[in-house]
Structure 1
Amino acid sequence: MTTSTIVAGILWLVALWRLPSIRHSHKQRSLALTLLALAVSMTFEVPQVKDAVNAAVGTDVMLPPLLKHLLGVTSAAYLLDFVIAVVRPHGLARRTRLAAIGVTLPLMLAFYAMANWLPGGPVRLGEGHGALFPVLYMAVFTLYIGVAMVVATWLFLSGVRHSRTLLGKAGLGLLGLGTLLGSAYALQRIVFVSVQLVTGAEYPALANLLSTTLKQSAILSIALGVCLPPLSVTVEYIRAWRTLRQLRPLWEQLTQAAPYVVLSTATSRRRVPFRLERCVIEIEDACLALREYVSADVHTRAQEFSRQGGVAEHEIDEVAEACWLLTAAGCARTGHRLQGVEYPPLGVTGRDRSSEIAWLRTVARAYLSSPVVAEFSRQEQPSALHAHGSEKVFPHGN
């Protein structure tokens, strides 16, 4: 199996994987068409396919190189459209890009038809009548690929710092590396053709080696870069699912004590990130409601009890939070709230979402399994219920 066959196979796998997303949005459509055009283009480098096409139309027509280059230009146009949609959603030089591709493809067809090619493919210059047209053909092809890849590299690499996830940054970085290698591919083509025109010297083996290596490396880098952002979404989905499983028992306990904080709207089970967001919000609302059943003194005693119970210093606040929440949940069964007292502070206040979730995971673990929390609640509830009897209290909802 040749390297070109392996590269084409990888491209087809990625292209077919992304093909269903062609209907989702303009951005996804451009990406799917980029991969599809690249896959078909590289298929014409597979020896069996190339031989079959040549046998069908004739070797003199040299159709596989033409189709490969036309599809290469098309894929570059769609890739540029994709990166602009990602990094510059308001657009960038749309009319200029349409004019460039609209001129490039017809010129390539015209110059290819008029060229007098030598055996060996479009890399070689012609002789006699029509000798200039191979140069013009390669110039148009290389100019478009080179400019498109330079612009795409600039956009991809500038978008790395704006990505929110590590895999997203890596994906954009690999896409930028792929387009940078594409720029190097165009540059080396220009160099070899210029050397041949000026000096008459030819280096077909070296030119073919560099051209193939740079092209295949660029394509593989782009294919891998395309895979990482969706993988990032999958990783985030799995992380949200795990976090939801960790917080769900705490949610059940707190919402049993404060059922009125639960939203009535049903949510699909597949919308895990949304369900996690809703779970966190309802836990926060339950904490806010339950703090009205205990005083700030309970929180202070919970901190001291946790410290005496051997809780690690960096987890005392979380365990103390679980202590007063479990106590408050028990008191909430009376249906009355304390008035005229200072309530415990909420530990989630002033945190960003990631640290807030980390905090709630620790609180949930302590609430459900810490013997310190269970013992504190057992000792504290009689005195807390006594406080409900001695303090001025009001029925819930008034």
Structure 2
Amino acid sequence: MDDASVYNMGSAVELSGALALWLAVFLRVPTARRSHQQRMLLLAVAGLAGSITVYLDPVTAVLNRTFVFAQSCGLFMNVWGVFSSALILDFVLAAMSRRRPWLVYSAMAVTTVALVALNATIAPNSGCVTSEYVPWYSLFWWILVAAHLTGTIPCAVMCVRYSRQAKRDRAFRVGLVLLAGGFISSSVFWTVVLAFLLARPVWLGALFPLNIGVTAWLMTAGTALPLLLAAHRLGRNALALWRLRPLWRELVGAVPHVALDSPRGRFRETLGGPRSVYLRLYREVIEIRDAILILRDHVTPQTVERAREYVRTRDLPENRIEPAVVACWLAEARRAKANGSPPLPNPAASAGFRGHDLRDEIDFLLEVHRARRILPSIPLGSARPEYSTPVPDGYGEEMTQTLQPEPQPQSGIQREP
């Protein structure tokens, strides 16, 4: 591959990376408004995105035809680069609780004036990195490179440092590593500029667009990672909501008063933002759980034990045995309640799902729903003799409960507090 091919390929990567970076920045604006640090980070990324954008050949051509810097050969893009470095450095100092905005932006203003003055006097057209206009000792470019490295290197170091501290939050750590990679890539670019000024190899100049493109894509990945994770959570919660809806409808149909709102369409329930879908899923899991607690009062320990013995004959994996047991006795409990069988409340018992969080409960209920569809219905019986014995709750735990032999009135169902 010759130098021209490398340059053209790099230009394509640079253009696509700049567009993707700006898209990620705009999509992050709504969430960044709620956090001062997020806003400052987004400003720093936007500054770098602008610095990359003005280096695109079509943008450079438009700027040179439009602005007063038309004969300055890149002065506008270099001044913008100094501004983006100031934004990055301001973010680093703010993250370290040492913010000095007057110092940072005063230094930016002095640097900008110096570059404009150098470009207009002793180093005319120094904005062009060519052997014709810029000697290796060009003060213009040494100041410009120092300004960029002053912003990008500390930011890369800070991202790496905080990524090491974020051991428990893997997504946050990965995002910081990607941002650090983007700032390191930007630092490499300006180091390559120095190497080009000193040695002038043609092949090194052909790598400039590719280096900028890699920087843009790394910054895009780091900036867009929270959006991708939010989209993943939204999709996973919407899918769980969709798959749990048949189980929810059956149980709420048997125990209508557990439902907070009237049922809506299955498709309509899955629409909305991440927070609204999550809240609907959470509410649906709670309502299913409440219905299970109530329906459990309509079966006996003997019924649950027969369900367990039947499930053991089905040769199911260990993690699917308990959900299958619950599916079996739930079917019997629904039939018993529909036939008017009085409940025998268990107010002293505690019932818990397997697992420690909402995701574990969802996985368990999905297995219940799956078992309900694949296991044939069997007559388990619902006789209620007098007894005092441990009653399995159907979730792998036991609860000790003395049931009363006297039938209770149908309206006297007691729910756990």
Q: Same fold, TM exceeding 0.5?
A: yes
Q: Which residue of 2 aligns with 1:221?
A: 218
The question of whether the paired residues in 1 share the 8 Å contact of 2:155 and 2:180 is answered with no
Structure 1 residue 266 displacement after superposition: 9.1
Deviation digits for residues 274-294 of structure 1, max 9, x if unmatched?
A: 111111111112222222222
- Higher RCO (C-alpha 8 Å, min separation 6): 2
In the superposition, relative to structure 1, how do residues 28 and 95 fare at CA in structure 2: closer, same or farther (>3 Å)?
A: closer
Report the secondary structure of 2:99's partner residue. helix
Q: Which residue of 2 aligns with 1:22?
A: 29
1:396 and 2:412 correspond: yes
Partner residue of 2:76 out of 43, 63, 67: 67
In the superposition, relative to structure 1, how do residues 189 and 112 fare at CA in structure 2: closer, same or farther (>3 Å)?
A: same
1:102 and 2:105 correspond: yes
Q: Distance in 1 between matches of 2:218 and 2:182?
A: 5
Q: Percent identity?
A: 25
In the superposition, relative to structure 1, how do residues 313 and 142 fare at CA in structure 2: closer, same or farther (>3 Å)?
A: closer
Deviation digits for residues 208-241 of structure 1, max 9, x if unmatched?
A: 4565544332222111332333122112111111
Q: Distance in 2 between matches of 1:266 and 1:366?
A: 24
Q: Distance in 2 between matches of 1:153 and 1:68?
A: 28
1:328 and 2:337 correspond: no
TM-score (norm. length: structure 2): 0.73
The question of whether the paired residues in 1 share the 8 Å contact of 2:251 and 2:292 is answered with yes
Q: Which residue of 1 aligns with 2:4?
A: none
Deviation digits for residues 172-202 of structure 1, max 9, x if unmatched?
A: 4322221222333345556777xx5xxxxx4
Q: Which residue of 2 aligns with 1:163?
A: 169
1:42 and 2:21 correspond: no
Report the secondary structure of 2:381's partner residue. helix
1:173 and 2:177 correspond: yes
1:3 and 2:10 correspond: yes
Q: Which residue of 2 aligns with 1:298?
A: 303
In the superposition, relative to structure 1, how do residues 330 and 347 fare at CA in structure 2: closer, same or farther (>3 Å)?
A: farther
In the superposition, relative to structure 1, how do residues 207 and 117 fare at CA in structure 2: closer, same or farther (>3 Å)?
A: farther
Q: Distance in 1 between matches of 2:11 and 2:98?
A: 33
Q: Distance in 2 between matches of 1:332 and 1:99?
A: 74
Structure 1 residue 80 displacement after superposition: 6.8
Q: Distance in 2 between matches of 1:22 and 1:342?
A: 51
The question of whether the paired residues in 1 share the 8 Å contact of 2:13 and 2:214 is answered with no
Q: Which residue of 2 aligns with 1:315?
A: 320
Partner residue of 1:148 out of 145, 149, 155: 155
Structure 1 residue 316 displacement after superposition: 1.9
The question of whether the paired residues in 2 share the 8 Å contact of 1:160 and 1:173 is answered with no
Structure 2 letter corresponding to 1:135: W
The question of whether the paired residues in 2 share the 8 Å contact of 1:171 and 1:228 is answered with yes
In the superposition, relative to structure 1, how do residues 240 and 279 fare at CA in structure 2: closer, same or farther (>3 Å)?
A: same
Q: Which residue of 2 aligns with 1:279?
A: 284
Q: Distance in 2 between matches of 1:354 and 1:7?
A: 40
Partner residue of 1:232 out of 221, 229, 232: 229
Q: Distance in 2 between matches of 1:340 and 1:352?
A: 24
Q: Distance in 1 between matches of 2:205 and 2:289?
A: 64
The question of whether the paired residues in 2 share the 8 Å contact of 1:247 and 1:364 is answered with yes
TM-score (norm. length: structure 1): 0.76
Partner residue of 2:241 out of 241, 244, 247: 244
Q: Distance in 1 between matches of 2:259 and 2:385?
A: 25
In the superposition, relative to structure 1, how do residues 390 and 135 fare at CA in structure 2: closer, same or farther (>3 Å)?
A: closer
Q: Distance in 1 between matches of 2:404 and 2:65?
A: 97
Deviation digits for residues 66-114 of structure 1, max 9, x if unmatched?
A: 3323433444555677799xxxxx9532523x24531332122121023
Q: Distance in 1 between matches of 2:262 and 2:89?
A: 42
The question of whether the paired residues in 2 share the 8 Å contact of 1:255 and 1:283 is answered with yes
The question of whether the paired residues in 1 share the 8 Å contact of 2:332 and 2:381 is answered with yes
Q: State the aligned residue count.
A: 372
Structure 1 residue 331 displacement after superposition: 2.3
The question of whether the paired residues in 2 share the 8 Å contact of 1:160 and 1:172 is answered with no
In the superposition, relative to structure 1, how do residues 280 and 58 fare at CA in structure 2: closer, same or farther (>3 Å)?
A: closer
Q: Which runs of 5+ in 2 are unaligned?
A: 1-7, 388-402
How much is the aligned-residue C-alpha RMSD, in angstroms? Answer: 4.0
In the superposition, relative to structure 1, how do residues 306 and 338 fare at CA in structure 2: closer, same or farther (>3 Å)?
A: same
Q: Distance in 1 between matches of 2:385 and 2:244?
A: 28
Partner residue of 2:116 out of 113, 118, 131: 113
Structure 1 residue 15 displacement after superposition: 1.2
Structure 1 residue 364 displacement after superposition: 1.2
Structure 1 residue 272 displacement after superposition: 1.7
Of Structure 1 and Structure 2, which has the larger fraction of its residues in helix?
1
Structure 1 letter corresponding to 2:412: H
